[in-house]
Amino acid sequence: MSGVMTGGVSRSAGRAGPALSVSDLRVSFGGNHVLTGVDLDVTHPFTGLIGPNGAGKTTLFNVVSGYVTASRGTVKLDGADITGAPQTLVGRSGVARTFQTPKLIGDLSVLENVLLGIDGRSSLLDQVRQAVSLRGRGQANIDRALSVIDTFSLADSANLDAGSLPLGSQKIVEVCRALVSEPSLLLLDEPAAGLGRDDVERLVEPLKRWAAGHGTTVIIIEHDLELVTDLCDDVAVLHLGHIIARGTPAHCMSDPQVVEAYVGISDRGGADGDKGGAIGKGAGGVNA
Amino acid sequence: MNRRLATAVLAVALAAVAIVLPDFVNAYRLFLATLIVVFATAGVGLVVIMGWTGQIALAHVAFMGIGAYGTNWLFSDLGVPWLLSLLLSALAAAVVGVLIGFPAARLRGFYLAIATLAFAELIVRFFVEADTITGGIAGKPIEIIQLFGLDPDRSQWYIALLLAVVVFTATDRLGRTAFGRCLRMVRDAEVATGSLGISATRYKLLAFGLSGFIAALAGGLFGQLLTYVSPDTFHTALLIQFLVVVFVGGVNRLSGAVIGAIFVVVSRELFQDVGDWQRLVFGLSLVLAVRFLPGGLTSLLPRLREMRRLDRQPQEALS
Amino acid sequence: MIQQVIAGLQAGSTYAMLALAVVLILKATDVPNFATADMGLVPTFVGWQLMDSFDLTYWLAIPAAILFGMVLALVIERIAIRPILAESHFATVLMTIGVFVVLSAVIQLIWGSEPRRIDAPFSGNFEVAGNFVTYDQLATIGLGALITAALLWFFKSPWGVRMQAIAEDRVTPRLLGVRVDRVFSISWALAAAIATVAMTLHTQSTVLTDTAGAPLILKAFVAATMGGFGSIIGAFLGGLALGVIENLAGFYIGTGSRAAVAMIFVVLILMAKPEGLFSKARPREV
C-alpha cells in the first residue's frame, strides 16, 4: 500500500489515469462467488454501476471501501494500491460512501451528523484542540458543514434532529456528510431508492454542481435507469459477478447481453420488462 | 441572550442553596442528599458508556469498588493525600476499563453484557482475595476525611458537589464535541464509522476508560459515605440499583442520571426497613420502565413532542 | 481425581440444562433470558412447599412444580416479554434482568433466606471402578444427557424447524399462517420445565436457598456461550466442561479459584471467537 493519500484534496477534472482502477477482483462468501473477476477503470466524473439484483454491485463498493476483503485482485485509488486496506484508512484516503438506507444518528442534528464527516478525518490532536478550546477552532468545521448543507438547500433544517426528517432529506444529509470532507471518490449506493422524482432532483442537481466544482469522481449504483441515463456519461453493467458491458448508457442498455440479463431476471421474477430492444426504467429493478 | 441569563441566574441560585443546605437540614437528610449526588455522578459514567456509546456494560459498580478500595488503601495505608488517592484510583479504574474494552469491543448485545458481568465477577473476586489491600471478605473501614476542619457530613457534601459539578460539566462539554458525536455514531451506525475514518474500537475503548474513571471517582466518595465497604457492596444489589438509575432515569441524557439517582435513593430510603420489599420495588421499576418507557423518564418529554409532531404530519414523518 | 470429575459432571449437567433452557428460548424467540434460573427456582420452592405443608411425595410434588413453572413462564412471556419484542436487544436483556430481580425478591419475601432441604428419594450410592457415584449424581447427569438428546431431536423435527425459522425471521412465517405466539409460548414453557428440573436437582444435592439462582444463571450463559448460543450440543458440552474444570480447579488450586474459572473461561472464549466455538459465522451485511 504505497502512496495512500490523505483525504480532502480537491482535484481538477484533468487528472492523469483513472480515479479508481479495479483489476481481476474476486470475492466469495463461503461457496458463494459474488464477484468473479471484475476489471473496471473509472475515469468519468459520473459513472453508473447497474445490473440485476444479486450481481454484486454493493459488494464491489464494499471491497473498494474496505468492508470486504477480496480473495484476489487489486484496487487502486488514483494509482495508489489500497487493496485490503481497512475501512478507516480508506475513509481517510479520500473515499466516501453512502448506504442503501441512510446511516444517520437520529437524535443528533443535521449539522452534527454532517460534522461527523470531518470528525473522523481530522487528527487526534486536532480533536483534542477542538475539545479544549472554547470557540474558534470548531467554527471552521461548522462553517464547512453549513456550506455543504446550504448547497443542498437544507440550511433551514440544519438544527433539526436528523431522525425527524423524511427519507429524501435523510439521504441528502448522508450525501452531505460524505461530501464535507471533499473526497476524491464518492460511492453512492442506490441514492434514489424509495424517493420520488422531486427528492431525486433535490439530490442530483446540487450534486452535479459540487462534483464539477471539486473534481469529485462519483460512482452510482442505481436501479433507476432514467436517472442513470440522465446523470452518467459512463456505465458499467455488472451481472453474476463480472462486467458484461461498458460504455454510454444508451450503448449498454441496447446491448443484447444486458437485455438478456435483465429479462432473464424479470422472467423469473415475473416483473414486466421490455423484451427485445433497449431496457426501459424499472426493468428487473426491485428497490432495496 | 435571555436563555443564557436565565440559566446563569438559575445556576447561581442552585449554588447558593447547595452551599447553605447543611444549615437547614439534619445530618441524615444531608447524607441522603450527598448520596443522591454521588449516585448521579456515577450515573454519568453509565450515560457515557450505555447511553452515548450504546454498550451494555455491566461492570460499572465494580469500578466504583476500585475507586472505594483504591482510594482508601492509598490514603489510609500508604498516606497519600486523599484527593491524589482518588485520582490515582480513578486512573487505575480507567486502565482496567480500557483493558476490559479490548475484548469487549468485539462483542455486541448480550454477549457484551455477559462478558462485562464476568469481568465484574473477576474484579469482585480480586477484592475478596487481595485481603492485604482490601480486608478480604470481611471488608474494610474507610477513613473519613474532613475538609478544612468541617465535620464529615458537611465536607462530604461539598466534596460530592464539587466532584459532581466537575464531572457533569466536563462530560457535557465532551458530549458536544467530535468525541461525543463519534460515540453516538458507534451506538447508532457502527457499520458506517469506518467509511468516515472513525475507528469504532478506539472510541469504545475511550468510552470504557472514561466511564470507569467516573465510576471510580464516585466510588471513592461512596466509600466515604458508607464508612465501611466489603466486596459484596459492589456486587449484584448495587448493579441492580444502577440499572434502575439507567432505566428509570433514562440514560441518553445527563439529566437522566440525576432523576434516576433521586428515584433510587428515595426508594432505598422508603423501603429500608422492609429490605425484601426494596428488591421487589427495584425489580418492578425495571420491568415497568423497560415495558412502558424504555428511554427512562427523561425521554418522556421528547417522546410527547415527537408524538404531537407525528400527529400533525403523518405522511412526511418517515424515519 | 475421577471423583472430582464425576462431581464436576454433576454440577456441569446442571449448568448444561440451564444453558439448554437459555438456548431454547434464544433459538425460538431471540431473547437472552437472564431470568431462566429463577424461573426454575420459584417452582422448586413451590415443590418444596407442597412436600412440606401438604405432605405430597417427591414424585407428585416435583411434576406439580414443573407444571407450575410452565404456567409461570407462560405468564411472564405473555405480559413482560412479548410486548417488548419489537424493541432492541438492550431492552429485552434489561427486561429479563428485571424479571429475575422480581422473581428473586418474591422468593425472598415468601420464603425468606433460611436454607432448606429437599428430601429426595435418591439416597445411596454405588461403586464403579473404585469410585463412588451417588444416585443423585446419576440422575442429574442422566437427565442432562436425556434432555439434550430430546432437544436435538426436537429441532430436527418439523416443529423445531418452524421454531427456528420464526426466531430468525418474524415476518414471513406469520404471512404463511404459522401461529407465532403459540410457538413462543411453547418454547418458554418448555424452557421453564427444563430449568425447574435443573434447579430441583441442583438444590436437592446442595441446599435450597433464595440466592441459588444468581450464580447459576451466569454459569448457564457461560456454557451457552461456548456453544455459540445456537448449538444444543455446544451448550451441553460447554456446561459439562465448565463443571469439570471448575471442580478440578477448586480441588487442585483452591476454592477461591472456582468462581474465577468460569469467568476467565467465558472471557477467553469471547475473545477468541466472539460468536462462540460452535456457531457458523454469517457474513457481515452492510
CATH number (domain holding residue C107): 1.10.3470
Note the pLDDT of residue A2. 37
From C229's Cα to the closest Cα of chain A, the distance in A is 21
- Which pLDDT score is estimated for B209? 96
Other residues' Cβ atoms within 10 Å of the Cβ of residue B41? 28
From chain B, the residues in CB contact with A138 under 8 A are 177
Write the pLDDT tens digit of every residue in C199-220: 999 998 888 998 888 889 988 9
Could you tell me the pLDDT band of residue C174, with boundaries at 50, 70 and 90? low
Cα–Cα distance list, C75 to A123, B206, C22, C39, C99 (Å): 54, 42, 17, 11, 12
Query: Does any domain span residue A3?
Result: no
With cut-offs at 50, 70 and 90, classify the pLDDT of residue A272.
very low
Residues of B with CB under 8 A from a CB of C: 54, 56, 103, 106-107, 109-111, 113-115, 117-119, 121-122, 125, 128-129, 191, 236, 240, 243, 247, 276-277, 279-280, 282-287, 289-291, 294
Kindly state the average pLDDT of the residues B276-297: 84
- What are the grid coordinates assigned to C128, written together? 464403579
In a domain, C260, yes or no: yes
Has residue A186 got a pLDDT over 90?
A: yes
Tell me the shortest Cα–Cα distance from B152 to chain A, in angstroms: 35
Comparing CB atoms, the residue among C84, C222, C260 nearest residue B290 is: C84
Which of A265-280 are b and which e, b meaning 16 or more Cβ less than 10 Å from the residue's Cβ? bbeeeeeebbeeeebe
pLDDT category of residue C138 using cuts at 50, 70 and 90: confident
Instruction: Give partners of C (≥3 CB pairs < 8 A).
Output: A, B
Checking if the pLDDT of B14 tops 80, the result is: yes
Note the pLDDT of residue A188.
94
Given an 8 Å threshold on Cβ–Cβ distance, is B111 in contact with C270?
yes
User: Would you place residue C65 in the very low, low, confident or very high pLDDT band (cuts 50, 70, 90)?
Assistant: very high
Contact check, Cβ <8 Å, B178/A122: yes
C-alpha cell at C224: 451457552
Specify whether A74 is located in the same domain as A208.
yes
B51/chain A closest Cα distance in angstroms: 12
Average pLDDT over residues A233-260: 87
Looking at the domain assignment, is residue C234 inside a domain? yes
Per-residue pLDDT at B304: 65
Residues 138-167 of A with CB under 8 A from B: 138, 163-164, 166-167
Question: Would you say residue A76 lies in a domain?
Answer: yes
Same domain, A59 and A83: yes
Same-domain pairing of A90 and A193? yes
With beta carbons under 8 A apart, name residues in chain C contacting B191.
284, 286
Does the beta-carbon distance from A87 to B194 stay under 8 Å?
yes
Write the Ramachandran bin of A282: left for phi over 0, alpha for psi from -120 to 50, otherwise beta.
Answer: left
Q: What is the mean pLDDT of residues A269-278?
A: 42
Q: How far is B140 from chain C (nearest CA, A)?
A: 19
Q: Confidence band (pLDDT; 50, 70, 90) for C173?
A: low
Residue entry with cell 449526588? B37
Domain for residue A154, yes or no? yes
3-class state of residue B88 by DSSP: helix
Which residue of B118, B247, B287 is in closest CB contact with C266?
A: B118
Contacts of A168 (CB under 8 A, 6+ apart): A195, A196, A198, A199, A202, A203
Q: Which positions in chain B touch A116 (Cβ < 8 Å)?
A: 178, 181-182, 185, 196, 198
| Closest-approach residue (CA) in chain A for B203 | A120
Q: How far is the alpha carbon of A91 from chain B, nearest alpha carbon, in Å?
A: 5
Distance CA C56, CA C159 (A): 35
- The per-residue pLDDT for C190 is 93
A67 and C284 within 8 Å at the Cβ level: the answer is yes
Do residue B286 and residue C98 have CB atoms under 8 angstroms apart? yes
Final residue of a structural domain among A132, A156, A182: A182
Answer whether residue C41 is part of any domain.
Answer: yes
Instruction: Confirm or reject contact between A58 and chain C (CB < 8 A).
Output: yes
> In this structure, are A245 and A173 located in the same domain?
no
Searching chain C, which residue's CA lies closest to the CA of residue A98?
C286
A121 at the B interface (CB within 8 A)?
yes
Higher-pLDDT residue of A253 and A274 is A253
Q: Which domain holds residue C60?
A: 2-111+139-272
- Contact flag A131-B181 (C-beta cutoff 8 Å): no
* A135 within some domain: yes
CA distance A136 to chain B (A): 13
Q: How far is B116 from chain A (nearest CA, A)?
A: 26
* Number of domains into which chain A is organized: 2
| Neighboring chain A residues of B199 at a CB cutoff of 8 Å | 88
* C265 falls within a domain: yes
Split at pLDDT 50, 70, 90, the class of C279 is very low
Residue A37 φ then ψ, to 5° = 100, 80
Q: How far apart are CA C97 and CA C111, in angstroms?
A: 21
Listed as own residue / partner, the contacts of A78-82 with beta carbons closer than 8 Å and 24 or more positions apart are A78/A5, A78/A15, A78/A17, A78/A19, A78/A20, A78/A184, A79/A3, A79/A17, A79/A21, A80/A1, A80/A2, A80/A3, A80/A4, A80/A5, A81/A1, A81/A2, A82/A1, A82/A4
Q: Is C240 part of a structural domain of the chain? A: yes
Q: With CB atoms and an 8 Å threshold, state whether B121 touches C263.
A: yes
> Is C121 among the domain residues?
no
Taking contacts as CB-CB distances below 8 angstroms, the residues of chain C near A62 are: 286
The answer to whether the Cβ–Cβ distance between A30 and C283 falls below 8 Å is yes
Residue A8 lies in a domain: no
pLDDT band at A1 (very low <50, low <70, confident <90, very high): very low
State the total domains in chain C.
Answer: 1
Q: Which residues of C56-88 are buried (b: 16+ CB within 10 A; e: fewer)?
A: bebeebbebbbbbbbebbbebbeebbbebeeee
A135 with A269, same domain: the answer is no
Q: Which of C9, C37, C20 is nearest to C217 (CA)?
A: C37
In a domain, C167, yes or no: yes
| A230 and A201 in a common domain | yes
Mean pLDDT of B238-264: 89
Query: Are A143 and A246 members of one domain?
Result: no
Q: How confident is the model at residue B215 (pLDDT cuts 50, 70, 90)?
A: very high
Which of C88, C280, C285, C286 is best to mutate for the A interface (most A CBs within 10 A)? C286
Which of A135, A161, A182 is the C-terminal boundary of a domain? Answer: A182
pLDDT tens for residues A8-31?
333 444 556 888 999 999 998 878
Contact: A121, B177; criterion CB under 8 Å: no
Does A147 map to a domain?
A: yes
Can you tell me the mean pLDDT for A176-198?
Answer: 91
| Residue A287, domain member (yes or no) | no
- Are residue A268 and residue A203 in the same domain, yes or no? yes
Distance from CA of C284 to the nearest CA of A (A): 9
Chain-chain contact of B196 with A117 (C-beta, under 8 angstroms): yes
Q: Domain of A63: which CATH number? A: 3.40.50.300
Q: Is residue A9 in a domain?
A: no
Q: pTM here?
A: 0.86
Which residues are CB-neighbours of B64 under 8 A, at least 6 positions away? B42, B215, B216, B218, B219, B222, B234, B238
* Tens digit of each residue's pLDDT (9 = 90 or more) over C93-115: 889 999 999 999 999 999 988 88
Q: Any idea which residue has 445556576 for its cell?
A: B11
Alpha helix stretches (DSSP H) within B145-294: 152-175, 178-193, 200-226, 236-244, 254-270, 275-292
Chain A residues in contact with B191 (beta carbon < 8 A) = 99, 103
- By Cβ distance, the residue of B110, B119, B280 closest to C106 is B280
Residue B87: per-residue pLDDT: 95
Domain ranges, residue A210 = 18-94+183-273
Residue type at position A111: L
Longest dimension (CA), chain A: 66
Cβ–Cβ of C218/B118 closer than 8 Å? yes
Interface of A with B in 170-199 (CB under 8 A): 177, 181
- Per the CB < 8 Å rule, is B111 touching C264? no
- Report the run of H or E that residue A269 belongs to, with start and end: helix A256-269
Taking 60 as the threshold, does the pLDDT of residue A225 lie above it?
yes
Mean pLDDT of the B126-154 span: 80
Q: Under an 8 A CB cutoff, do B196 and A121 touch? A: yes
β-strands A234-239, A242-247 pairing: antiparallel
Question: For residues A202 and A16, is the Cβ–Cβ distance under 8 A?
Answer: no
Window 241-260 of C: residues touching B by CB (8 A cutoff) are 256, 259-260
User: Residue A166 and residue B317: Cβ atoms within 8 Å?
Assistant: yes
- Confidence label for B295 from pLDDT (cuts 50, 70 and 90): low
Nearest-Cα distance to chain C for A268, in Å, is: 21
Phi and psi at A27, nearest 5°, equal -135, 130
- C-alpha distance from residue A109 to each of A165, A185, B196 (Å): 10, 26, 17
Is residue C18 situated within a structural domain?
yes
- Residue A169 confidence class, pLDDT cut points 50, 70, 90: very high
Nearest to A5 by CA among A92, A135, A106: A92
ipTM: 0.83
Could you tell me the pLDDT band of residue C165, with boundaries at 50, 70 and 90? confident
Beta bridge mates, C127: C132
